[in-house]
Amino acid sequence: MTKVLEISHLNKTFGKFQALSDVSFTVNQGQVFGFLGPNGAGKTTTIRSVLGLLKRDSGTIKLMGEDATGNVLDTHKHIAYVPGDVYLWPNLTGGETIDLLLRMGGHARTKRVDDLIKLFELDPRKKNRTYSKGNRQKVALIAAFSANVDLYIFDEPTSGLDPLQARNFQDQILALKQAGKTVLLSSHILSEVEKVVDCVAVIRQGRIVEVGSLTDLQEHAALRINAQVQDWTPFQDYPKFHQELNGEISFTVARALLPKTMTALVTAGVTDLKVTPPTLEDLFMQYYDTGAVAHES
Amino acid sequence: MNRNMWWLLGANLKSDYRVIIVWLLVNFSLIVSGALKLADLYNSPETLDQLLTMLRTPMMTAMFARMPELSQYTVAIVYAAIMLPIMAVLMGLMNVQLVVRGTRQMEESGETELIRGGVTTATTPVLATIFEVLGVNVLMTMTMGIGVVLIPMHGATSGGAILFATLLGTFGLMVAGITLVLSQLFAESRSVNAIGYGVIAVMYVLRAVIDVRRAAEWRWLSPLNWLESARIFADNRAGAILTQGWFAIVLGLIALALVNGRDINAGLIQFAGRGRQRATVWLRGFTSLFVRLQARLVLTWLVGLAFFGAMFGSLFHEVGTMMIDNPQLTKIIGAQLEASMHHAIYRHFLVMVSMFISFLAILAGLNVMQRFHTDTVRGAYDLLGGMRLTRLKLYATYVSGAMIVALCLWGVAFMIVWFTANMVLTVPMDVTMMQQALVGYVPSIAVLIAIAAVLLGWAPRWFGLIYGYAGVMFLMTYMKNLMDLPMWALKLSPYGWTYNVPVVSLSVVRSSWLCGLAVVLLIVGYIGFKKRDLV
């Protein structure tokens, strides 16, 4: 499998503050890679280091096998990027900005631009200074989606979009995935990421705390049990035990302990039962709460 | 007015206190050092007479001020006449800076929106700024007044000192009022800054022209002429305080009324919100984007410099004739031929004009380069982070852009001076002299832009310092003769190395090493730019 982006032992400090500490992960061809972490965890710093906007202290960053920040004239022809806070030059219109960004990236303007303008419902004749945050993001997204590149990097791209446009964004990501393109998607809107990503890396306080495919992570992590039982007392010491007003109990359990738990549920007179894998949000909260995978037992 | 206004005022003062302290120190030290120097240098009637003779020449009138017509003069009268316009310009610059920080810059950074979300009205931020500048100008007035009182000068009275300082304070408030209104008209801090500073420069040039031409009927036009009419330490006429005060109050009220009539982040003068659907063919890459973004700024500077060039150029006629008419001066210079005398006079006047115009051209270049820092702070380079844009291209575009703008504006403005001078004179300007001046200032412009490039590369947060450095060194060079400043102090900046060109011709060796120094500084700047974080 071709490695599109390979980050290894990346370190970055701002004065005495260690912003990134030994960050390593790889994004392979055709993957939609979710880069997750709370605010200030180091997602944007990592992406800016990949782009060469920030100078790394140590470590390597390879883009299509080459040093990402060596000769940007070569490496950046492979990427399209949308930052989290999109600043656009106030006196240009949205349409002019899209054309300019495409030309600067060396991409031809195709019919796709007009299709995307229609899809995202952008008025391209308006001056950038009059756009809302969401519309500014649309301008950058349209320019990025119109570019035919290997790697698309999105840093919190949907924070200003309404739910309809956020869905359009997801559809475009899925279209890229189907076309075999690679996407690095940094976000903390986990419900949206979950629908499109194959792999995730979780960063916390500048350190990567987990990397892997979403399926693997879900398999390794605890299952959530929701049940109606006659006697709930045997379960009160299970992790994340909670009892609803209607008597339903919920708790988490490691996959290995599931058979033993099922026996206990039968003994307790279970009348209703639901076993679900953890959502991305559950996983994320586990990493965020503890800083490591909670393999509960 | 509510309690939040006072909180906001406190926050403004907290973020501006460093700027205020710097201005306080600069103004106080200029007031005191100017008084000390003049009192020391011109302490006898003979030396004072010589000074007055020099100051009455059209060139010195253009540079500093018109001397009041009196039968008897004291050092204090001369001091007040010279210092008043210069200090007024500095007070004006400070007030433009403070008002723009408190209004447009806060709005651009989103703070105003945050504040307006609370229990505040649209006028709250403007009111906070009004109270801030009011307080700062009162503080400056008191400090400068105390400074003048403290220095023993022949003819100085505390009444005159109070009038001197109060005139400066009210002038500052009037400029603050102008800037407050401009802040409601224009949506970008850059525009308000440029126009605010432009208004002060126009006031100064108008004063020079009106004073040199002795056009008494036009003295109402420039507020700097109003200051001159106060005749401090002679008659102590306080009329200008009232005029300036009224203007300040009316302008403040207009600004408060205007802020209620506009949207947040908008200006009352705003170009249409719609434009092209597609980019034109020539908007192809970073260089063309740079040109497009800088065009309006450069054009504004060009118009301003062309105006100054034409004004100064048209003064050559008066400079020549009035000087010859001055019998005292003829006596001092001796019986030289009229033509060569003219020639010498023009040479000296050209030094003053060249210094002024080259300084403004440098400021224009610095404005162009500073855009990089402003855009970085706003996040423009985040968006370009994924583009095929090398650091060398980024650096070279901004630095060479600044250099080209500064040198071209210098060249164009100088040619306008030359052209206008030739139009008003019967005998054209000496071509060699003009060429010497035109080429002579190129190295100092190049070195100053290169110093700015070093800051851009190594310490972008401190870029603003270059304005202070250029301004202080310009002022020192401008006042060198009057204040008898040592040459070594002037040589701390490139102005010192090209001092008095074309009265003295700049040697090829000195020009070459200055240009070499500029190249070295540009390379040093690039090394820093390559190594540092861009965002």
Residue A129 sits in a domain whose CATH number is: 3.40.50.300
The domain tally of chain A equals 2
**DSSP string across A122-188:** --TTBBGGG--HHHHHHHHHHHHHHS--SEEEEESTTTT--HHHHHHHHHHHHHHHHTT-EEEEEES
- Which residue from B271, B380, B532 is facing A55, i.e. has the nearest CB? B532
Q: Is the pTM of this model over 0.90?
A: no
A100 shares contact with chain B (CB less than 8 Å): yes
The predicted structure's pLDDT at residue B113 = 82
Q: What residues of A are in contact with residue B380 (Cβ under 8 Å)? A: 87, 89
Residue A236 sits in a domain whose CATH number is: 3.30.70
CA distance B385 to chain A (A): 6
Structural domain includes residue B207 = yes
Structural domain includes residue A284 = no
Same-domain pairing of A119 and A200: yes
Q: Pull the structure tokens for residue B426.
A: 């019967």
A281 pLDDT above the threshold of 90? no
CA distance B439 to chain A (A): 37
A145 shares contact with chain B (CB less than 8 Å): no
Among A164, A196, A213, give the residue marking a domain's end: A213
Q: What residues of B are in contact with residue A126 (Cβ under 8 Å)? A: 273-275
Structural domain includes residue A79 = yes
Amino acid letter at A17? F
Backbone angles phi, psi at B534, to 5 degrees: -85, -30
Are the CB atoms for B55 and B61 separated by under 8 Å?
yes
Q: Which residues of B141-165 are buried (b: 16+ CB within 10 A; e: fewer)?
A: bebbbebbbebebbbbbeebbbbbb
> From A104, which residue of chain B is nearest by alpha-carbon distance?
B285
Could you report how far apart the first and last alpha carbons of chain A are, in Å? 36
Structural domain includes residue A281 = no
- Which residue from B375, B385, B531 is facing A83, i.e. has the nearest CB? B385
Mutate to test the interface with B, among A14, A43, A48, A53 (most CBs of B within 10 A): A53
Mutate to test the interface with B, among A44, A51, A153 (most CBs of B within 10 A): A51
Q: Which of B478, B196, B211, B495 is nearest to B353 (CA)?
A: B478
CA distance B281 to chain A (A): 10
Same-domain pairing of A153 and A232: no
Structural domain includes residue A289 = no
- Which residue from B286, B378, B534 is facing A53, i.e. has the nearest CB? B534
CB pairs under 8 A between A and B: 120
- In this complex, do A72 and B389 lie within 8 Å of one another by their Cβ atoms? yes
The predicted structure's pLDDT at residue B335 = 53
CA distance A74 to chain B (A): 8
The predicted structure's pLDDT at residue B2 = 67
- In this complex, do B390 and A104 lie within 8 Å of one another by their Cβ atoms? no
The predicted structure's pLDDT at residue A292 = 46
The H or E element containing residue B436 is helix B431-440
Q: Which of A8, A39, A38 is nearest to A287 (CA)?
A: A38
The domain tally of chain B equals 1
CA distance B15 to chain A (A): 23
Are the CB atoms for B357 and B417 separated by under 8 Å?
yes
Same-domain pairing of A171 and A241: no
pLDDT tens digit at each of 535 positions of chain B = 567 888 889 999 999 999 999 999 999 999 998 888 888 888 888 889 888 988 888 878 888 899 998 888 999 999 999 999 999 999 999 999 999 999 999 998 888 888 887 778 889 999 999 999 999 999 999 999 999 998 888 899 999 999 999 999 999 999 999 999 999 999 888 889 989 999 999 999 999 999 998 888 998 999 999 999 999 999 899 999 999 999 999 999 999 999 988 888 888 887 666 888 889 888 989 999 999 999 988 998 999 999 999 989 998 888 876 555 565 655 555 555 566 777 788 888 899 899 999 999 999 999 999 989 888 888 888 888 888 899 999 999 999 999 999 999 999 999 999 999 999 988 888 899 999 999 999 999 999 999 999 999 999 989 989 998 999 899 888 888 788 888 888 888 888 888 888 888 878 898 999 999 999 999 999 999 999 998 8
Range of the domain at A254: 222-276
Structural domain includes residue B357 = no
A130 shares contact with chain B (CB less than 8 Å): yes
CA distance B378 to chain A (A): 7
B380 shares contact with chain A (CB less than 8 Å): yes
- Residues 6 or more apart whose CB falls under 8 angstroms from that of B373 comprise B456, B460, B463
Helix segments in chain A, DSSP class H: 43-51, 72-75, 94-104, 111-119, 133-146, 163-178, 190-194, 214-220, 258-267, 280-290
Are the CB atoms for B235 and B164 separated by under 8 Å?
no
A243: left (phi over 0), alpha (psi -120 to 50) or beta: beta
- In this complex, do A103 and B275 lie within 8 Å of one another by their Cβ atoms? no
Same-domain pairing of A152 and A227: no
Q: What residues of A are in contact with residue B376 (Cβ under 8 Å)? A: none
> From B380, which residue of chain A is nearest by alpha-carbon distance?
A87
Same-domain pairing of A234 and A255: yes
Backbone angles phi, psi at B447, to 5 degrees: -65, -40
Mutate to test the interface with B, among A73, A103, A152 (most CBs of B within 10 A): A103
Structural domain includes residue A291 = no
Structural domain includes residue A252 = yes
- Which residue from B272, B292, B382 is facing A85, i.e. has the nearest CB? B382
**DSSP string across B289-325:** HHHHHHHHHHHHHHHHHHHHHHHHHHTHHHHHHHHHT
Q: What does the alpha-carbon distance between residue B212 and residue A231 come to, in Å, rounded to a whole number? A: 103
- Mean pLDDT of the residues in chain A: 89
pLDDT digits (tens, 9 = 90+) for A256-279: 888 999 999 999 999 999 998 877
Same-domain pairing of A162 and A236: no
Cis amide prior to B327 (ω within 30 degrees): no
This model of the complex carries an ipTM of: 0.81
- Residues 6 or more apart whose CB falls under 8 angstroms from that of A286 comprise A221, A222, A278, A293, A294
Q: Pull the structure tokens for residue B268.
A: 């009352």
> From B531, which residue of chain A is nearest by alpha-carbon distance?
A55
- In this complex, do B387 and A76 lie within 8 Å of one another by their Cβ atoms? yes
Q: What residues of B are in contact with residue A77 (Cβ under 8 Å)? A: 388
Are the CB atoms for A166 and A121 separated by under 8 Å?
no
Q: Please give the average per-residue pLDDT across A111-121, as a whole number.
A: 95
Are the CB atoms for B158 and B42 separated by under 8 Å?
no
- Which residue from A95, A103, A130 is facing B276, i.e. has the nearest CB? A95
The predicted structure's pLDDT at residue A37 = 87
As to burial, measured by CB atoms within 10 angstroms (0-12 exposed, 13-18 middle, 19+ buried), residue A290 is exposed
Same-domain pairing of A150 and A82: yes
> From A85, which residue of chain B is nearest by alpha-carbon distance?
B379
A104 shares contact with chain B (CB less than 8 Å): yes
Same-domain pairing of A262 and A189: no
**pLDDT category of residue A296 using cuts at 50, 70 and 90:** very low
CA distance B302 to chain A (A): 20
Range of the domain at B219: 1-265
Q: Which of B76, B73, B36, B83 is nearest to B53 (CA)?
A: B73
- In this complex, do B388 and A88 lie within 8 Å of one another by their Cβ atoms? no
DSSP structure class, residue B380: H
Are the CB atoms for B456 and B463 separated by under 8 Å?
yes
As to burial, measured by CB atoms within 10 angstroms (0-12 exposed, 13-18 middle, 19+ buried), residue B230 is buried
Same-domain pairing of A21 and A51: yes
Helices (H) and strands (E) in chain A, counts: 10, 14
Structural domain includes residue A264 = yes
CA distance B288 to chain A (A): 10
Same-domain pairing of A127 and A55: yes
- In this complex, do B283 and A96 lie within 8 Å of one another by their Cβ atoms? yes
Structural domain includes residue B379 = no
Structural domain includes residue B282 = no
Same-domain pairing of A178 and A122: yes
Same-domain pairing of A166 and A272: no
